[in-house]
Structures are given as C-alpha cells and as structure tokens.
Amino acid sequence: MLNINKSTDGSKLTVALEGRLDTNTSPDLETSLQESMDGITELVLDLEKLDYISSAGLRVLLAAHKIMSKQGSMKVIHVNTTVMEIFEITGFLDILTVE
C-alpha cells in the first residue's frame, strides 16, 4: 500500500509518500508524478513515512530526477534510516539531493 499526498505551491510540488514503494505501487507514483510535473521547477519528495523502497521505486525516483534536472531541481527530505540504507547501497545518495 502506498499513499501519495501531493501539494502544489506555485511551481513547487511537494509529494509525501506513505507506505511501501515497490513493484506493485511504483507504477501509481510514476503515473501520479507524470500527471503533475508539467511546469514544476522544484520537486520535493517527503519520505518520512516511507517504510520501504524497492528497485522499482528507485527507478521512479531516478526518472523523476532526470526530468527535474532538465526543468529545475529535485530534493528528497526526511529520509529515514531504512530508506537511507537503501540509498547508500545503491549509490542513490551520491546522485540525489538528500536533506
């Protein structure tokens, strides 16, 4: 299960994720992001309540990162230890802007 809470402030989009971002739920996030990324220059992903992220979820983050690197910036905030460990292992920590 994954809850996606989006809030827009001008050209800033904040997406708070809650639950598990895995093979089953990552297509939802991918669709959801594709719908609302037009004209966005600042994308903030709040992962405070994200319990788990799988490689399929990382793929969505990578795709978002690539799009945002062309039209603005993207950062990931409130990363908990579980997700941070996955970021470390996969090297995403070096690519993403994590706060």
Residues of this chain that interact with other proteins (CB under 8 A) are 20, 22-23, 52, 54-56, 58-59, 62-63, 66, 88-92, 94-95
At its nearest, how many Å lie between other proteins and the CB of residue 53? Answer: 10
- Report the residue number, 12 or 90, with the smaller CB distance to other proteins: 90
The phi, psi pair for 72, rounded to 5°, reads: 165, -130
Quickly count helices (H) and strands (E) in the chain: 4, 4
DSSP SS3 for 11: coil
Structural tokens at position 40: 């966005």
DSSP SS3 for 80: coil
- Report the residue number, 18 or 22, with the smaller CB distance to other proteins: 22
- Report the residue number, 4 or 95, with the smaller CB distance to other proteins: 95
At its nearest, how many Å lie between other proteins and the CB of residue 8? Answer: 24
At its nearest, how many Å lie between other proteins and the CB of residue 17? Answer: 17
What distances in angstroms separate CA 8 from CA 35, 40, 56, 63, one per listed residue?
Answer: 13, 9, 25, 20
At its nearest, how many Å lie between other proteins and the CB of residue 85? Answer: 10
